[in-house]
Structure 1
Amino acid sequence: MSPHLIAGPHAFSAGDSVYWGKTADGVVHVPGVRYGERLDAADRFSPLGDPSPGSAQVGPTVFPQSPGSLDWLMGPALSRLPQDEDSFLLDIWAPEGAQDLPVLVFLPGGAFISGAGNVGWYDGARLATEGNAVVVTLSYRLGALALLGGSGGPLNLGAQDILQALRWVSVNIPAFGGDPAAVTLAGHSAGAWYAYILSLAPAAKGLFSRTALFSLPWQPPLSPAAYEERRELFNGFLNDALANGGCGGGGLADAPIPAILEAQAAVGRAYAGRGLGLVPAADGGLVPEWAMDFRRAASALHVESLLLTSTDNEAVAFLHAVPVPAVGPEQVADFVAAHFEEAREVLDFLDSRLPEATPHAKLVEAMSLHQFGLAATELAGRANAAGVESTLLRFSVPSKLEGAGSPHCFDLPFLFGNRAHWQDAPMLRGFPEDSFDEVSDQLRPLLLGFVADGRPRSLSGEPLGRFTAERPQVHTVTAGGIVPGSVEPELRPRR
């Protein structure tokens, strides 16, 4: 894009509030919009109500979090933003003079314990310009403060926050030129998980009509017993952190943030190798216990279409710390036996797909398929059978970072087309500028076409073929273009 030409402030009136933005290259950016505030300001676990006009727009902050486990790929941009427990904020990008445009709402990921919608990574200016759309990014509560509060079971405050933000968008986005009847909800990783969950939730019906899921993880919500196990473990670590910090007793409701983050990290270490330490739990409301039973869930979807994307080597991001020589054939066999119904079939598939690869690379492939690739394929098939149009994508562009392949998160810079905001991301180190532009030019139209009318489109404007039982295809995004192909055989992951 050309160098930014900054125009003067731009005012929007929505309800009783006035919001200010600045124009650059024909797009108005309205930052720091408060979408909700606690009904009880003194209660960390309070549900949200509509924001008061006096606090409608504030400076950028993020919810409390420790450095992310994927900083080795993405860089430290999140750590530069101040933290605040009231970061119920969204950012809006809209073309100047926008009126009745489709709306893209994007939910960031971060393993349920980190992330923010207002970090520069998710600058939506280019998508707003090229898609002639209004782009919204938002933040939601994280970690123990989102997942472990309350004494009567899980509150799932992150999901509740997003629901409040969607309601705010539905009511107020016309003031910024958006059409509340043409909203696409998109998310990456944990954000994709929440976008998927809300696509099942009756409370969210009518707030968006399409869902784009980037690297949706297969992550069943915790059972009541598993939730209590996590909660007790966390409370034990929290008590230790409080004692070591000289804070005495107390609990999550009034503990200082450093002690909470220390306890979260301890839970994560306790579950290392067994999954994430803190994840949402079934609550009988927004988060059903059958959420990852795609056969049942597909019939509950209240959207008209799905876009499902995964990267080639998702699990590199999570196995980076495991030395290549530390993984032998026995570790691969053990993982496959624990996670697939027919171990021999999967091991043969890995050998045929990666005949010269190390056991470490085969473990990455098996984990990537189990947690992401096969989950996307199964959901696409179940959704199609339930009458929800689906398109399946695979991002197959390798990073220049040694051993990274095409890892979890690597598609994001290309999706937003804003390399300058990723200047210190190691995963882009050495990636040629012209090659970045060529890949980004392939990926952006796919999302923008979906936002416009539910049909991902190539750079030339051709719609991609949908996933059907007769033609279960995956479209692979490569450095040279988009290549249609067949999905992997049915490898029957254990669910």
Structure 2
Amino acid sequence: MSAPVLAHTVTVRAERAVDTGAVHSRDTADGVAHFAGIRYGERLDATDRFSPLGNPAPECPQGPSTVFPQAPGSLDWLIGPAISRLPQSEDSFLLDVWAPEGASDLPVLVFLPGGAFVSGGGNVSWYDGTRLAGEGGAVVVTVSYRLGALGLLGGPETPLNLGLQDILHALKWVSANIAGFGGDPAAVTLAGHSAGAWYAYVLSFAAQAKGLFCRTALFSLPWQPPLTGAAYRERWELFTDALRAAGPGSLATAPVQAILEAQATVGKAYAGRGLGLMPAADGDLVPGWAMEFSEAAASFHVESLLISSTENEAAAFLHALPVDAVSPEQVEGFVAAHFEDPGAVLEFLDSRLPDATPHARLGEAMSLHQFRLTATELAGQAGAAGLDATLLRFSVDSRLQGAGSPHCFELPFLFGNREGWTDSPMLTGFPDEVFASVSDQLRSLVLGFVRDGRARTIDGEPVGFFDTDRPQLHRLTETGLATTGTEPALRARR
């Protein structure tokens, strides 16, 4: 049982460490110390909400657990409202660390949460790293970064991508300081989910991040090219018009609530057409070719990739759309717009979901285009570039009607902390014994990758890397892990 005491104290003394002062653990459970609310940076100009970061002041190494300003998440109906229980602050430049007591030179897992670039936080109860750290003999780090307009907008011509800059600063902090917690700065795996996976992916070929991590694990990486200059300006104008209509004040001075309301206006304007706010090509960290996988793979500075998706990703996003609101013609229209050979895709849908509603067929087509083919394409290009890539599919169904294996569903299994998801509807009715079995298998795969770049079964057997000549994936179901073929040669329209 956790004890709410300062049970462990670390004063960082790594070779390149900044002076962070004494960092205290909030509690210790199962031989793992949890260091909560560690400041990895502070704005260089405290009066400028768009300031880049500098090193944190040593006299304030930790802060209360807060998250960056955000509205309730669009997937709260699925994952639950845990994040709403944390206070919000524009200074949530915080990370949490879990380290086995007595740790020394252990591999490090840095996890970036998702949230469509507008919500989320690394210190939510969902991402408790106790089991990953204790069972995997690893140091686990979760990171919070700036969100929404405060993390993505700058001026009408200049996207700042501050969320990505924050993560880069946090990685530099980890490289300089993680040895003081028992981690090996030369054995860092950067992992992310959804928007966090997008950021982890981009940093895997960003020259500024070279040497800060050596492996990348991507969970539900979305197909999401960065905004062009014109698309960014369009969103900027829509946002500033909405902010101006709400009352006096600019983006630099407006109250947070007004900013969140203006964000919502942008989101509604792009509903059904993509994300309202997201990273834009900036000629620096985010190149315009970011989602051209052949170019990205040739530029990767990591040695291995783990690429995972769930079976029914899009079921999470179509929940609000009534089943009878989707017609066969709408499915055919989506397929024609998003695939090179619409006829082949429609045949695939017929064979895979012979008696399904158009609503379910649309979800399958969206999951295929946005996530599953994205994972397969990236694995293929990485393999062609000589990188070790492991392709994983999480195919365990929620008991929530119509959800299947939706976006986010693998997360409680990955962290192995069902108690952190007690109010998550997607786990309602899910058998404890099945949860434990699947969770053990998923953690084994991921922790094997964290240790040496090779995902491993519970029995310690390594799973195969992606072979471009015989494309296969490793599918995790309730009954175990099986190696199967990928989808037919269906080409998404990119």
Structure 2 length-normalised TM: 0.97
Whether the aligned pair in 2 keeps the contact of 1:104 and 1:186 (CA below 8 Å) is yes
User: Residue type matched to 1:9 in 2?
Assistant: A
The offset of 1:241, in angstroms, is 1.9
Alignment of 1:369-384 (within 5 A): 369-384=368-383
Alignment of 1:5-404 (within 5 A): 9-14=7-12, 15-16=18-19, 17-21=21-25, 22-242=27-247, 248=248, 250-404=249-403
User: Residue type matched to 1:357 in 2?
Assistant: A
The offset of 1:489, in angstroms, is 1.4
Partner of 1:412: 411
Could you tell me how far apart the structure 2 residues matched to 1:178 and 1:49 are? 23
User: Residue type matched to 1:322 in 2?
Assistant: L
Could you tell me how far apart the structure 1 residues matched to 2:2 and 2:280 are? 44
> Helix, strand or coil: the match of 2:329?
helix
Whether the aligned pair in 2 keeps the contact of 1:74 and 1:425 (CA below 8 Å) is yes
User: Residue type matched to 2:8 in 1?
Assistant: H
The 10-residue stretch of structure 1 (3-12 or 469-478) with the greater mean CA deviation from structure 2: 3-12
Could you tell me how far apart the structure 2 residues matched to 1:24 and 1:460 are? 26
Distance 1:6-1:42 versus aligned 2 partners, 3 A rule: closer
The offset of 1:150, in angstroms, is 3.4
Gaps in structure 1 of 5+ consecutive residues:
243-247
User: Residue type matched to 1:54 in 2?
Assistant: E
User: For 1:397-419, what per-residue CA distance to the aligned partner results, in whole angstroms no more than 9, with x for missing partners?
Assistant: 00000111100000000000000
User: For 1:218-244, what per-residue CA distance to the aligned partner results, in whole angstroms no more than 9, with x for missing partners?
Assistant: 0000000000001001111111222xx
Gaps in structure 2 of 5+ consecutive residues:
13-17
Partner of 1:245: none
The offset of 1:138, in angstroms, is 0.7
User: Residue type matched to 2:9 in 1?
Assistant: A
Partner of 1:430: 429
Partner of 1:482: 481
Aligned residues: 487
Could you tell me how far apart the structure 2 residues matched to 1:56 and 1:206 are? 25
Structure 1 length-normalised TM: 0.97
The 10-residue stretch of structure 1 (468-477 or 127-136) with the greater mean CA deviation from structure 2: 468-477
The offset of 1:152, in angstroms, is 4.6
Whether the aligned pair in 1 keeps the contact of 2:156 and 2:233 (CA below 8 Å) is no
User: For 1:353-412, what per-residue CA distance to the aligned partner results, in whole angstroms no more than 9, with x for missing partners?
Assistant: 111111111100000010000000000000001011100000000000011110000000
Could you tell me how far apart the structure 2 residues matched to 1:166 and 1:32 are? 16
Could you tell me how far apart the structure 1 residues matched to 2:446 and 2:155 are? 38
User: For 1:401-455, what per-residue CA distance to the aligned partner results, in whole angstroms no more than 9, with x for missing partners?
Assistant: 0111100000000000000000000000010111110110111011100000000
Could you tell me how far apart the structure 2 residues matched to 1:188 and 1:12 are? 29
Whether the aligned pair in 1 keeps the contact of 2:108 and 2:188 (CA below 8 Å) is yes
> Helix, strand or coil: the match of 1:200?
coil
The offset of 1:341, in angstroms, is 1.1
User: For 1:196-228, what per-residue CA distance to the aligned partner results, in whole angstroms no more than 9, with x for missing partners?
Assistant: 000010000000000000000000000000000
User: Residue type matched to 2:458 in 1?
Assistant: L
Identical-residue share of aligned pairs (%): 70
Could you tell me how far apart the structure 2 residues matched to 1:220 and 1:231 are? 18
Could you tell me how far apart the structure 2 residues matched to 1:278 and 1:419 are? 31
